[in-house]
């Protein structure tokens, strides 16, 4: 059977997000209040409407089943995606840093002008990739009015049109702060992670709680299990941090990433993740581990090696599991990164309290994400 490539999915998803350009490009923070209604024509999918509302440097972008709040000057966006029928509404917070792969690296004045709905604009090329690398990729064009309002965009993939948006109506009118304000309880952990007791299905043996520390080349990884919750956090010497908190039974998930130097980069919150969500794919929720046919011993405990993603290409993820399913060794890598080999150096089997599964306070502090309020 053909193996599914996780990295292909990741690249496409990332490109789509960038091509969608959730935040309008703005050459300055000094842009007047406005509401712009645009028509979006993607290469794949239906033509649809995009509404951008701006006030005081912050925008609200409504497009299909997603609403994005953000600050173009600070390159931070908060996207809510939902389904009105299921109530499924994950939130993704993205903050561009100096190491972000597709951050804005430069802007080129093309010298071209366009007119949309009687509004004149100048075309600029937004450079998001390293200009010294010859790899094919995405090209972003933004058409901006004299007072800094983006009224048209074009995105090309390897030179071919991928997506374009054009102005239908532009209103320069007062916009209230409330129209672009993020929800007050956006980062209230109680809204996302519910620790009510949920007994395992009848006849299913509940795995024991544990707290464990692992190390690899100066990096420290902490794992805790309070079934059905798993807490997994890694901190690296260069300041990078990764955190995952998930409940496979209910679909609740939180994922956090900090870049080199410790700058906060991404936060994903999901009340009920669905099959196909990025975190579900990465965690291999639907994958059935396959025995690799050999054993090991760590801290005097025997463990058996399993391939945790046996039907995925580009990902090499294996774990050495004890009989009660505790990973004493974790190896993971792939086409996008060298393999890491974390090995347990401390483990405790004990009853954990729900608060031991909560994220560190700084992860949900609004000021660390440049979010007001």
pLDDT digits (tens, 9 = 90+) for 9-30: 333 334 334 323 579 998 888 9
Tell which residue, 321, 331, 324, has the closest CA to residue 349.
Answer: 324
Which band of pLDDT confidence, cut at 50, 70 and 90, is reported for residue 315?
confident
* pLDDT above 60 for 358: yes
Quick count: other Cβ atoms within 10 Å of Cβ 57? Answer: 16
Task: State the fold for domain 4-180.
Answer: outer membrane lipoprotein receptor (LolB), chain A (2.50.20)
Question: What is the structure's pLDDT at 248?
Answer: 81
Task: Give pLDDT tens digits for 34-63.
Answer: 999 999 999 989 999 999 999 999 999 999
Which one, of 256, 259, 306, lies nearest residue 284 by Cα? 306
**Cβ proximity of 362 and 368 under 8 Å:** yes
**Under 8 Å between Cβ of 301 and 345:** no
- pLDDT tens track for 200-215: 555 667 889 999 999 9
* Residue 206 per-residue DSSP state: P
Rounded to two decimals, the pTM is: 0.85
Confidence of residue 138 (pLDDT cuts 50, 70, 90): confident
Q: What integer pLDDT is reported at residue 96 of this predicted model?
A: 85
Query: Percentage of residues in the chain with pLDDT exceeding 90?
Result: 60
Q: Is residue 232 predicted with pLDDT exceeding 70?
A: yes
CATH class of the domain whose range is 189-369: mainly beta
Task: Tell me if 319 sits within 8 A of 214, measured CB to CB.
Answer: no
Q: Which of 68, 40, 73 is nearest to 56 (CA)?
A: 73
Instruction: Decide which of 183 and 276 is more confident.
Output: 183
Equal fold, 4-180 vs 189-369: yes
Residue 289, number of CB atoms within 10 A of its CB: 18
Predicted pLDDT at 304: 97
- List the beta bridge partners of residue 257: 242, 266
SS3 139: strand
Closest CA to 296 of 267, 271, 251, 327: 327
Percent of the chain with pLDDT over 70: 83
What backbone phi and psi angles, to 5 degrees, belong to 219? -85, 145
- Work out the mean pLDDT of the chain and round it to a whole number: 85
Contact at 8 Å (CB) between 303 and 294? no
User: d(Cα 117, Cα 82) in Å, to the nearest integer?
Assistant: 31
Q: Report the C-alpha gap between 301 and 293 in whole angstroms.
A: 17
Quick: pLDDT tens for 238-282: 999 999 999 988 888 999 999 999 999 999 998 877 654 544 444
Can you tell me the distance from the alpha carbon of 13 to that of 273, in angstroms, rounded to the nearest whole number?
16
Give residue limits of the domains in the chain: 4-180, 189-369
Q: Distance between alpha carbon 365 and the CA centroid of its chain, in Å?
A: 17
């Amino acid at each position: 059977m053909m193996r599914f490539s996780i990295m292909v999915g990741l690249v496409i998803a990332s490109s789509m997000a960038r091509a969608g350009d959730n935040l309008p490009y703005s050459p300055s923070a000094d842009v007047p209040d406005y509401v712009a209604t645009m028509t979006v024509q993607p290469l794949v999918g239906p033509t649809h409407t995009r509404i951008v509302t701006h006030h005081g440097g912050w925008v609200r972008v409504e497009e299909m089943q997603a609403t994005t709040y953000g600050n173009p000057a600070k390159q931070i966006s908060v996207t809510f995606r939902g389904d009105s029928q299921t109530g499924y509404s994950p939130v993704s917070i993205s903050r561009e840093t100096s190491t972000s792969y597709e951050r804005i690296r430069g802007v080129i004045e093309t010298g071209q002008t366009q007119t949309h709905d009687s509004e004149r604009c100048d075309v600029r090329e937004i450079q998001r990739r390293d200009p010294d690398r010859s790899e094919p990729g995405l090209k972003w064009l933004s058409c901006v009015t004299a007072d800094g309002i983006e009224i048209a965009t074009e995105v090309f993939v390897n030179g071919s049109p991928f997506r374009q948006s054009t102005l239908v109506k532009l209103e320069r009118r007062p916009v209230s702060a409330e129209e672009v304000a993020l929800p007050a309880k956006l980062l209230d952990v109680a809204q996302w992670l519910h620790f009510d007791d949920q007994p395992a299905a009848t006849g299913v043996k509940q795995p024991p709680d544990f707290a464990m520390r692992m190390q690899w080349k100066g990096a420290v990884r902490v794992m805790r299990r309070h079934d059905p919750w798993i807490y997994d956090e890694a901190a690296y010497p260069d300041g990078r941090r990764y955190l995952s908190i998930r409940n496979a039974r209910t679909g609740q998930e939180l994922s956090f990433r900090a870049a080199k130097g410790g700058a906060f980069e991404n936060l994903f919150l999901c009340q009920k993740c669905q099959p196909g969500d990025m975190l579900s794919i990465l965690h291999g929720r639907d994958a059935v581990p396959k025995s690799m046919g050999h054993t090991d011993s760590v801290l005097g405990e025997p463990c058996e090696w399993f391939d945790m993603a046996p039907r995925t290409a580009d990902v090499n993820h294996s774990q050495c599991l004890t009989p009660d399913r505790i990973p004493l060794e974790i190896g993971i890598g792939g086409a996008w990164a060298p393999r890491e080999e974390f090995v347990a150096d401390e483990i405790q089997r004990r009853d954990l309290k729900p608060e031991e599964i909560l994220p560190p306070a700084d992860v949900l502090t609004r000021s660390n994400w440049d979010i007001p309020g």
